[in-house]
């Protein structure tokens, strides 16, 4: 199964467009604009379809033309956007569509289709077991009913246990701590992926049927104890709001419970071969680039840290920098001090953090005597080898590099040469990355793909 996260935000998204809090400001500065939570499975099944979902699909390069099934979790307006059915009706398509969910959600949709539309509505409730083409859907109870009383009969909220062949996921939004009957129904499920709502972050006095961070951890602990979640389950936090801390901090907190925050546009592949994510983090001096890069791998049980700077005898200031980096890294991380990065990339078995490309380039320029005779063939050959190894690296890898092209022109020829070569290296690595982040004053800015 391929699950495209169309949105990972709460009803008001993250950031809230009317809010000036620090969390919203950080999300906006980083370009992390989360839409209302929904997902597209294999391009044929929608998990919730709020008003933002159709446009989100287009922004992420997908069409909804092949959608055959929509599963609504409950009737709140961020999860039910019936206008999507009207958009479909205008095409006069003859392709069938099955819409499932609680009665309160379906009742909002019926008036948006034509008499001749091939749309079937099926009200489901906890305990139902439905087959939809290649998918089996087990319907579970959510703890999210009190605030739906206005919707009338059938206003319960649902979770979906969705399987295709031997692959199985849980879609769990919106809900507070799960009912015992739901835990019992999921015992031993060994889900490949769990998408669990985590709305309120550090705000625990909300009095609603949602998860905050402590409740999320408690629910996840119970799922592990029952065998619903295993060591290989990908646990993704969704329905996130500005009550959470900024993403780097949230990532670190969630990693303690073996989870991670979902991102809009992220594709979660279940039972499918997928190249691990390769990320480049750029920034100036003291911009926070190393700390941000380390946070990206915080959830990994083991990481190899490639330190390319080495030790500099007689330089206490540099030694202190190295010491601070070392004490910040988890004890489970292995440090390798080397300039032979390409070999490490090719042979990697655990995720890598390369810090940094600037010191690696300096070492290669030293090795080839560039400062003496200006011959660059050897350096360019090393860059070619590094980029090739980076592209084929079989594990998740994050590289840190300096952004040196935005300041004044260096006064020396050697400075200008280094600046130009590092710009070339950064551009070539960025072209082979899934994600490129520019750190400015401690704030991450995600750079769009070309």
Burial class for 33, CB neighbours closer than 10 Å (0-12, 13-18, 19+): middle
Query: Which listed residue (89, 183, 206, 325) is catalytic?
Result: 325
**Residue 135 to residue 146: CA distance in whole angstroms:** 30
Closest CA to 11 of 265, 243, 246, 207: 243
The angle subtended at Cα 302 by Cα 325 and Cα 227, nearest 5°, is 140
* Residue 243 appears among annotated catalytic residues: no
Q: What are phi and psi of 91, to 5 degrees?
A: -80, -15
The angle subtended at Cα 297 by Cα 11 and Cα 230, nearest 5°, is 75
339 and 360 Cβ atoms separated by less than 8 Å: yes
Q: What is the dihedral of CA 97, 103, 104, 107, to 10 degrees?
A: 50
A 10 A CB-CB count for 67 gives: 22
A 10 A CB-CB count for 152 gives: 11
Residues catalogued as catalytic: 325
């Amino acid at each position: 199964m391929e699950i495209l996260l169309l949105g990972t935000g709460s009803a008001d998204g993250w950031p809230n467009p009317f809010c000036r809090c620090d969390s919203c400001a950080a999300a906006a500065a980083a370009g992390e604009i989360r839409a209302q939570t929904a997902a597209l499975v294999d391009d044929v099944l929608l998990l919730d379809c709020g008003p933002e979902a159709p446009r989100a699909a287009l922004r992420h390069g997908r069409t909804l033309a092949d959608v055959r099934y929509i599963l609504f979790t409950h009737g709140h307006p961020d999860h039910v956007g019936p206008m999507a059915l009207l958009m479909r009706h205008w095409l006069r398509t003859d392709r069938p569509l099955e819409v499932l969910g609680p009665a309160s959600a379906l009742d909002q949709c019926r008036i948006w289709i034509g008499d001749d539309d091939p749309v079937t509505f099926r009200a489901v409730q906890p305990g139902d077991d439905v087959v939809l083409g290649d998918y089996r859907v087990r319907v579970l109870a959510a703890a999210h009913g009190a605030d739906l009383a206005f919707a009338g009969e059938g206003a319960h909220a649902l979770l979906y246990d969705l399987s295709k062949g031997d692959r199985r996921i849980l879609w769990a939004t919106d809900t507070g701590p799960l009912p015992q009957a739901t835990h019992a129904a999921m015992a031993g499920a060994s889900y490949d992926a769990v998408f669990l709502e985590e709305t309120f972050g550090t705000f625990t006095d909300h009095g609603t049927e949602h998860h905050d961070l402590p409740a999320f951890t408690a629910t996840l602990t119970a799922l592990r104890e029952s065998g619903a979640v295993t060591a290989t389950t990908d646990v993704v936090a969704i329905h996130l709001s500005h009550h959470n801390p900024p993403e780097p901090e949230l990532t670190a907190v969630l990693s303690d419970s073996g989870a991670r925050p979902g991102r809009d546009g992220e594709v979660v592949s279940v039972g499918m071969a997928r190249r691990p994510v390769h990320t480049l983090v750029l920034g100036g001096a003291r911009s926070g680039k190393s700390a941000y890069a380390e946070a990206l791998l915080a959830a990994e049980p083991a990481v190899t840290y490639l330190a390319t700077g080495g030790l500099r005898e007689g330089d206490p200031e540099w030694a202190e920098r190295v010491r601070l980096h070392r004490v910040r890294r988890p004890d489970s991380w292995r440090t390798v001090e080397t300039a032979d990065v390409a070999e490490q990339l090719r042979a990697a078995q655990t995720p890598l953090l390369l810090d940094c490309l600037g010191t690696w380039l300096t070492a290669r320029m030293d090795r080839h005597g560039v400062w003496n005779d200006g011959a660059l063939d050897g350096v360019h050959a090393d860059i070619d080898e590094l980029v090739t190894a980076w592209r084929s690296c079989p594990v998740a890898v994050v590289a840190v590099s300096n952004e040196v092209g935005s300041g004044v022109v260096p006064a020396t020829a050697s400075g200008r040469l280094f600046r130009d070569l590092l710009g070339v290296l950064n551009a070539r690595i960025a072209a082979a990355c899934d994600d490129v982040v520019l750190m400015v004053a401690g704030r991450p800015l995600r750079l769009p793909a070309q």
